């Protein structure tokens, strides 16, 4: 009996030295009623997949019993690792720290609110394994089941179209939280992740802006369990700013040069009209429009020079 117990301890110690292939990052905030069901669903799917994995559940300073539920689960599921924040940092912060702490070469992001098909996590991992040229695979939602649909659907569509134009790529789902990616590719971009929901948008645009291949798989999206943390006006505004910020970070010419060229064209056309109408005299607004175009164009070129010399 003692020999068997010792052998079991040696086996557990040896397995702990072998790094997992997959790290699943699960942000949790006030999910006490369903977080255990979500953990059970994830572990059940991963246990039969054959992948070595770890599940990193991050409690974002929940005000309910979420942390207590996670501590209970930690004793039951050996692959579960719980990280508890001492103050609320947002889902983006949780995903950033979880990815930094991950030991697997493939990282999976998902949510604990029962909306995403977490039983399909092995499918995302298998897709990356089968396609070595793909650096990220995103679960593209086929329907919108969130709250405030009357506002969210057109707002998300407009922001997605802006992101597609700025990145020059078709994006079926810009802000899906269900995705798998290669950790080594994502590490340089972790510093760019904002604390809120727009972190998923940021990671998508960071990959696309640097010519990393991102593929999409259609998924079902269920109605969330519990109360939504999405604020329609505030978070939509943050999404819009983050899209512009990311494109400015990687490709400022795409944002600044079009308005600069338009102002220059308008200034030249207005100058020709002034020469004809006012006998070779230029009006003040003509000069202002042309000079503004020159200034924005100069800023665009300077920003592009800085991006190219940054080396990241």
Please give the tally of structural domains in the chain. Answer: 2
Question: What's the pLDDT score for residue 82?
Answer: 97
Q: Decide if 206 is inside a domain.
A: yes
Q: Are residues 160 and 304 in the same domain?
A: no
Residue 3 within a domain: no
Which tens digits make up the pLDDT trace of 80-102? 999 999 999 999 999 999 999 99
Checking if the pLDDT of 182 tops 80, the result is yes
| Ranges 36-45, 155-164, 188-197, 254-263: which has the least confidence | 155-164
Mean pLDDT over residues 173-198, rounded? 91
Q: Give the largest CA-CA distance in the chain.
A: 106
Give pLDDT tens digits for 108-149: 999 999 999 999 999 999 999 999 999 999 999 987 655 555
pLDDT band at 311 (very low <50, low <70, confident <90, very high): low
Same-domain pairing of 189 and 277: no
User: pLDDT tens-digit profile of 42-63?
Assistant: 999 999 999 999 999 999 999 9
Please tell me whether residues 243 and 289 are part of one structural domain.
no
213 and 265 both lie in a single domain? no
136 vs 158: CA distance, rounded Å: 23
Domain's final residue, options 199, 221, 250: 250
- Work out the percent of the chain whose per-residue pLDDT is above 90: 62
Residues 51 and 33 in one domain: yes
Cα separation of the two ends of the chain: 57
Pair (111, 171) in one structural domain: yes
Q: Could you tell me the residue range of the domain that residue 195 belongs to?
A: 19-250
Domain annotation covers residue 6: no
Helix (H) or strand (E) holding 256: helix 252-277
Instruction: Output Rg (C-alpha) for the chain, integer angstroms.
Output: 24
């Amino acid at each position: 009996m003692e020999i068997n117990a010792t052998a079991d301890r040696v086996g557990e110690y040896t397995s702990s030295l072998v790094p997992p292939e997959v790290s699943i990052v699960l942000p949790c905030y006030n999910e006490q009623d369903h977080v255990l069901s979500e953990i059970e669903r994830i572990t059940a799917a991963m246990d039969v997949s054959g992948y070595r994995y770890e599940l990193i559940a991050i409690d974002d300073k929940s005000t309910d019993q979420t942390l207590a539920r996670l501590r209970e689960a930690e004793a039951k599921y050996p692959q579960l690792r719980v990280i508890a924040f001492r103050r609320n940092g947002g889902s983006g912060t949780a995903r950033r720290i979880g990815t930094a702490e991950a030991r697997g070469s493939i990282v999976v992001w998902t949510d604990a609110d029962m909306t995403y098909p977490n039983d399909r996590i092995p499918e995302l991992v298998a897709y990356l394994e089968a396609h070595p040229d793909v650096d990220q695979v995103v679960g593209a939602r086929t329907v919108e089941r969130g709250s405030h649909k009357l506002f969210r659907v057109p707002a998300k569509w407009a922001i997605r179209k802006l992101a597609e134009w700025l990145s020059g790529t078709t994006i079926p789902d810009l802000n899906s939280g269900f995705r798998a990616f290669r950790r080594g590719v994502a590490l340089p971009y972790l510093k760019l992740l904002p604390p809120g929901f727009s972190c998923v948008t940021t990671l998508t645009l960071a990959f696309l802006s640097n010519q990393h291949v991102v593929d999409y798989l259609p998924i079902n999206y269920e109605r969330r369990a519990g109360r939504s943390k999405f604020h329609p006006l505030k978070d939509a505004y943050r999404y819009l700013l983050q899209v512009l910020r990311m494109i400015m970070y990687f490709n400022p010419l795409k944002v600044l040069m079009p308005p600069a060229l338009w102002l220059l064209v308008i200034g030249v056309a207005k100058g020709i009209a002034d020469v004809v109408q006012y006998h070779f005299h230029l009006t003040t607004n003509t000069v202002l429009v042309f000079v503004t175009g020159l200034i924005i164009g100069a800023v665009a070129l300077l920003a592009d020079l800085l991006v190219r010399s940054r080396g990241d």
